[in-house]
Chains A and B, each alone.
Chain A
């Protein structure tokens, strides 16, 4: 990707060319038909794409994978902040089309540099986890394997992220305020206490802006409650 193409002079034209890419990325998360005239999600994606054009430089790897990360995160932030939270789920079907795209567009160098940045994030993240007296080995034991459980925990985490006072109390006490979470989400105390570590991890990943790559690796999409 040439930096010239991203210069402000060519920006309009470039975004117009990349509309299909933006639409696809957004569609992968929202999983419904979207219209540029109507849907906020697409506007968010456009803004994020423009943002990506501004901040991109060559050591950030492939431009499109970088843009994808930013768009995903922008949408997740949007879900977080919007007043009516849609039901979000983890996507589990393997996107073969996406996989082929990645293969074609990503060279080994790009993959390596992306991995490096991810490694930096993970190092940062595990340092933060140490403050909560957690590490990945204990996480493995306390992470749910059932998809329904994971989805409902993800929604609980999303609801908690919207409440600033919960985030503050987590940051200061390094503990999950179980009582308040029950009040907000109206969910079972047992469920929250059993999976408190997992909820804490989700809140930490999704609420922070320090981990864009980890955040975008999680395939979060909008799903039906009855799915």
Chain B
């Protein structure tokens, strides 16, 4: 019975459309993680940056009645949360995992509080269609059976995410900037003596990650859901972190991992009527996360100086 439903679901283009959508949602914070860790800063704050981005995105879109302002606001909000993590980790040499966690907790509390204040406890802010991030349909391409809706009828941010994914891979491995980023992450002292501004590189990478996570937040709230709900990211930022490790700190690898996690998420909502408890099903993506982290963290080698604050005077 279960397998019948499973195969039926796997054969539907609706599942794969949802898979790609979730994957796109995850890949943005995953890229944030990759960029940050490649420069040597452990970043688990994608969750908080996304959530803040989602909130600010919705609120600023409503306030100005402009969807672009919303997206911009979301990105800036993500950037600000990232800046906090950056200052604490890079300038004050704090434990980067603690710092990231702190950002996540703060984001949750902050958004919940502001939500309460804003709505006076009367429901959640809704976005009218005009203020939502639209789905882009590529004309006749969307009519191709099965692949059509999967590839050519996705939210605009999906396509943006693909472009960013390719750009990140290219920049990181084919440009001088990317070389410097990777050098800083492996051996910041060597990069420093070679004349690279280690601090600046790390700041820029973490903040760039903030922009990407904020954008993901906008995608979630303004594109997929159309509302802002308390804790609506529901751990997606942590799944993105697992994708970073699963993908061996490579943009393309992380993208692949996001596809797998996206599939898990999409399946969990579509296998409801197989008799398996829906609660159990909804744990699927998180179980995949744990398996990935437990199975691969030991074996995947992060950049050599990842997580170690850079102290120029030390030897």
Q: Do A and B bind each other?
A: no
Q: Which residues of A contact B (CB under 8 A)?
A: none
